[in-house]
Amino acid sequence: MTETTAPRPRRAFITGVTGQDGSYLAELLLQKGYEVAGMVRRSSTAHTSRIEHLLADRNLQSRFRLIEGDLADGASLMHALKAVEPDEIYNLAAQSHVGVSFEMPGYTADVTGVGVVRLLQAIRDLGITPRFYQASSSEIFGRAESNPQYEQTPLSPCNPYGAAKAMAFYMTRIYREGYGLFAVNGILFNHESPRRGETFVTRKITRAVAEIVAGRRDQVLLGNLEARRDWGFAGDYVEAMWLMLQADVPQDYVIATGETHSVREFCELAFAHVGLPLTWKGEGLSAQGLDPQGRVVVAVDPRFFRPSDIDCLQGDSSMARSELGWKPQVTFEALVRMMVDADLQKVRAEGA
C-alpha cells in the first residue's frame, strides 16, 4: 500500500505585515489555513504591536513567522523568497504617508517605487512563479479630471508618494505583460481602521476625541477640512486583495466604496458619537480650548496643508464587484464609530 502525503497549506509572503493592512491580511489568510511569512525590516526596536496577538497564539506558531528583509535591499529579498517559497506574495510595504513623501521624496521613490522593481526582479531571478499582489493607491490618479475614478482613468499623481506608486503600478504591469507573471495592482482608495497610524488624519481625529473625553486635551488642530475622500474599512479591503489572486486571469482592480465624505464630516461624526459639540476656527487661528459655550474648538492650522493637495478622490469598484464578487461591508458611519470606540478603550487603558 502506497502512503500519500497530504498537500502542504498554501504559503503567503507579506511585506509590510506589521502595518494596518498587513495585520488584517495576515489574520484573513491564517483563518483560511495558509502558512504566512511576514517580512520585517531589521530594527533595534520592535514594531509588531498590530500582530502581537498572532505571534502570541500558540495555535498559529507553526503557520505564522517573521523573516527579515528590506525593499531597499535586493539581496535580502532574494534570501527571504528562497526561505519562504511562497505561492502568493502581497507587497504592502511602502513609505505610505503623503505628507512625509514631500519631506522625503528620494526615500519614498526608492522604497515605494524602486523597491517594487527589486521584488519583481527577485521573483524572475529565482525562476519562481508565485502570484503577486501590488498595493497600489488612489493617489496615482491625483487631480483626476472626472469623478469617479476607475481602472481606465488616466494617472496624474501630484505628490511624491503618488508618483512612486504610479511607477510601481506600471512596473507591475510590465512584468505581467512582458514576462508572464501573475501580477496584479489593487488600486485601493482610502481605507481606515483602529489600526491606522496616528499621523493619518482619521486616527488623529479619533484619538483626539478619546483624549478630550478623558480630559487630556480640549482642542484639535487640522489641515484641509474640505478635502473629500472615499473611505472604507481596511478589513474589507484585504479580502479584495486575496480575491484578486484567486482569479483565473490577472487584472488590476479599483477597490472603493463609491462614496465621498469630507474631513469636516468625519470630524463631526466622531465628536457626535460621544456627544461633544464642535465649533470651528479658520486658517491662521490657533485653538484655545473650549469656547464660551463649552464647545470643542477645531482649528485649521496651515502647517498641516500640503504643497499640492487633492480636493476629491472617489472610486468606482464596479469591475471588482461584478468579477470578484467583492463589496464593502462596513459603512462610513460604522467605521467612524468603530475607530472612536477603539481609541476610547485605548486611552482608558493607558490611563489605568
181 half-sphere exposure, CB direction, 13 A CA radius: 30
Name the DSSP class of 149: B
- Residue 348, all three cell numbers: 482608558
How far is residue 50 CA from its own chain's centroid?
13
Active-site position among 27, 35, 88, 139: 139
187 forms beta bridges with 136, 254
Cα gap 312→229, rounded to integer Å: 6
Within 32-159, where are the H helices? Answer: 52-55, 74-84, 98-103, 105-108, 115-126
Cα gap 117→61, rounded to integer Å: 31
Q: What are phi and psi of 149, to 5 degrees?
A: -95, 145
| Cβ atoms 279, 296 nearer than 8 A | yes
Helix/strand/coil percent split, the chain, to 5: 45, 15, 40
Q: Cell 491662521 belongs to which residue?
A: 284
In the residue annotation, 237 being an active-site residue is answered as no
Cα gap 255→314, rounded to integer Å: 10
In the residue annotation, 318 being an active-site residue is answered as no
Active-site position among 76, 96, 136, 137: 137
242 forms beta bridges with none
Start-to-end C-alpha separation, the chain: 63
Q: What are phi and psi of 5, to 5 degrees?
A: -95, 130
Active-site position among 34, 150, 161, 253: 161
In the residue annotation, 62 being an active-site residue is answered as no
Q: How many CB atoms lie within 10 A of CB 116?
A: 29
Q: Give me the active site residues, please.
A: 137, 139, 161
